């Protein structure tokens, strides 16, 4: 595995994002909704760093199953999401790849009547974007490589790494530790 963003770089990027989010929502109460499971690490760090009154919830959205790296149909479970009507909402996700997941999530959320909805992602792959939407807060732009760590996984492994790394082709085709 190659280190793309080391632990210090990730920490600096998350701190910068938290400052930008705090400034953007100044004097507002915020509802932060993390997209499970990849955003858990980022979500935990952001809610400790964003200096605003807030509520926190999660939504589960997945389009990848098992060992595949090919996108399938998106399945959204919003049962754990708090009421967002008349609230300022920040959707937090680990990666903005094609953008399709975020577009579908925002479509669902708009139907629930929030005052505003903004998005924050740790990573964005500009080269893969298939939608007109862009995240409001971005930790890092990265190349089109398969990444793991800091919440991102391959077959449910590597989420616990404190850095973001890229897997070699032979690592992608093997069973993770």
Tell whether the model's pLDDT for residue 18 goes beyond 90.
yes
Phi, psi of 105 (to 5 degrees): -65, -45
**Mean of pLDDT values over 38-66:** 89
Name the residue with higher pLDDT: 176 or 37: 37
Angle between helices 40-49 and 7-24 (to 10 degrees): 60
Residues 6+ apart with CB under 8 A from 39: 92, 93, 94, 122, 151
Pairing of strands 137-141, 116-124: parallel
- Whether 76 and 58 have beta carbons less than 8 Å apart is answered as no
The predicted structure's pLDDT at residue 72? 59
Tell whether the model's pLDDT for residue 47 goes beyond 50.
yes
The predicted structure's pLDDT at residue 35? 94
The predicted structure's pLDDT at residue 155? 87
pLDDT tens per residue across span 79-93 = 778 899 999 999 999
- Fold that domain 7-53+61-143 belongs to in CATH: Rossmann fold (3.40.50)
pLDDT tens per residue across span 123-148 = 999 988 899 999 999 999 999 999 99
Q: Annotated catalytic, 97?
A: yes
For the chain, the structural domain boundaries read: 7-53+61-143
Tell me which of 45, 97, 136, 141 is the catalytic residue.
97
């Amino acid at each position: 595995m190659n280190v793309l963003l080391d632990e210090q770089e990730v920490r600096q990027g998350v701190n910068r994002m938290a400052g930008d989010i705090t400034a953007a929502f100044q004097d507002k109460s915020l509802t932060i909704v993390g997209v499970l499971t990849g955003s858990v690490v980022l979500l935990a760090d952001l809610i400790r760093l964003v200096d605003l009154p807030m509520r926190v919830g999660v939504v589960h959205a997945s389009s990848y199953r098992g060992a595949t790296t090919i996108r399938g149909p998106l399945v959204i479970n919003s049962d754990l999401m708090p009421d967002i009507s008349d609230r300022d909402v920040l959707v937090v996700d680990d990666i903005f790849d094609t953008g399709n997941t975020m577009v579908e999530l925002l479509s669902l959320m708009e139907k629930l009547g929030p005052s505003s909805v903004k998005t924050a992602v740790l990573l964005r792959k500009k080269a893969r974007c298939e939608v007109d939407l862009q995240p409001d807060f971005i930790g890092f732009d990265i190349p089109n490589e398969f990444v793991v760590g800091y919440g991102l996984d391959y077959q449910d492994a590597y989420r616990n790494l404190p850095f973001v790394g890229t897997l070699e082709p032979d690592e992608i085709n093997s069973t993770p530790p």
